[in-house]
Amino acid sequence: MAIAALLRTHSKICCTRSRRYFDVTYTTGIHYLHNNRDNLNNDLPPPDNGLLKELNSLGLDKYIVPLSDLGYFSLPRTTTSEIEETTNDDSSSPRCPIITDIKKNIDLKKKPHVVTPAHIRETNLSLPRQFSFSGNNVPPVAPSSSSSSSSLFHYRFWSKLASLYVAVTERNLNLEEDIDFVFGGSVLYFLATGKLSDDVPNDNEKCIMTKIPGTDVVVINRHKIYTTNSNSIGSQLERIVCGGGIDDSDNNNSNQYTSNFVTHLHLLDIVGVKVLMSSEIDALFSPNENTNNIPLEIKSVRYTKYYNRQEAILFQMISSASQYICEGLTKLDDSRRQTLCNLRIRSLMEYSLRPNIISKRKLIQHGENIRDSIEGLQKLCIVMKEGEVYELKYDKETEGNLTMIHSATITIDDLFPKKEVVQELMFGK
């Protein structure tokens, strides 16, 4: 149901819900899907049962249930500057530059590179291997390969509008019945832990919530100053894993894996609300000839910082529906240069439930936190106003109490076009 109907249904009970209510309703995701399949939109693609099994093995399918895998699309980064120039365009004409730009540049067939176990084994034979650059001051390859902070920030919110457009117009998502929220890739981790990243807290890093104009859909996304650099260690690692050269740049035709964002869309039931997850993915993985290609997370991890990133990466994998992760383990060699020592692929369960990493008890606690946070979001949605932008925070004095404040620096016009333009994009009217 749409968020307005959701709030009418839940406004009287969301403040008094007990844990027993959720425990009775959510036994396991497998039981949930079996008992509620008739309530799902039959026109939607089916969910990935592999992800459901991984969540079940972690004990998280009581809180998070895959409903539909909506596939992939790509929106080139080069469209961002054009989008920003037309952000405040008041035109609601079918020829509005914003609508034309999104429709023209979205690639519905684009998918990431497919990685195989044989390629990983072959690559490991050539290791250890020095990266071309290391440290914090990694130079960009060319001006076009390093987007401005403002540009990339706006892109990430525009990509959520593009995600909703693709889901509704190309993947049969019913805007009135099938969706309540759109989440970015960092939001699940925020709801589970109260943090947006595993890094040192940054005052410029915020969790932003607002309604997409012209709809009842609430979008929640991370706001941070982003920059891109195709010479970073992470970008070099992605090229190695995806079959490119370590020195390939975004401007090199031999590397086609970092020039566009490839977004994976999938619909989740998170403790009773329907959430469109919109997350960038790095690659696809083909475990064997009998298995479909599965989203793959690629991460560079230094041995000395290995355990600090575990939880953030776990929820990032769930957000992108990545059932596997390719870890590039690195360390500083004698010349103080970062060196890739080993590549290894693990399933979501193997990655998460290793001894002394994340206990199943802690995972369940994260699930409980997500449930409490969703309750908090429902309360906040009742009082939020259309056209307003809010910053989500956890009240330090009251553990688990999710609060929102009006953003003092970001307006709705900074993030999205006018509602007439959105409605033209979604409905052609």
Per the DSSP assignment, residues forming a β-bridge with 262 are 74
Question: What is the rounded average pLDDT of the residues 17-46?
Answer: 52
CA–CA distance, 383 with 3 (Å, rounded to integer): 12
Residue type for position 56: N
Which two tokens mark 24?
């009775």
Q: CA torsion 191→147→324→33, rounded to 10°?
A: 50
Question: What is the rounded average pLDDT of the residues 289-308?
Answer: 79
Q: What is the DSSP string of 64-116?
A: EEEEEEEEEEEEETTHHHHHHHTTT----STT-HHHHHHHHH-BSS--PPEE-
Per-domain residue ranges for the chain?
Answer: 3-427
Please indicate, yes or no, whether the overall pTM of this predicted structure exceeds 0.85: no
Instruction: Out of 19-23, 337-341, 384-388, 411-415, give the one with best mean pLDDT.
Output: 384-388
pLDDT at 331 over 60: yes
pLDDT for residue 289: 81
The string of pLDDT tens digits covering residues 224-242 is 766 666 777 888 888 889 8
Contact 249, 142 (CB under 8 A): yes
Q: What is the DSSP string of 212-230?
A: PTTSS-EEEEEE------T
Q: What is the largest CA-CA distance in the chain?
A: 64
The string of pLDDT tens digits covering residues 202-223 is 667 889 999 999 999 999 998 8
Q: How confident is the model at residue 152 (pLDDT cuts 50, 70, 90)?
A: very low
Q: How confident is the model at residue 292 (pLDDT cuts 50, 70, 90)?
A: confident
**Which of 95-99, 218-222, 410-414 is predicted least confidently?**
95-99
Q: How confident is the model at residue 352 (pLDDT cuts 50, 70, 90)?
A: confident
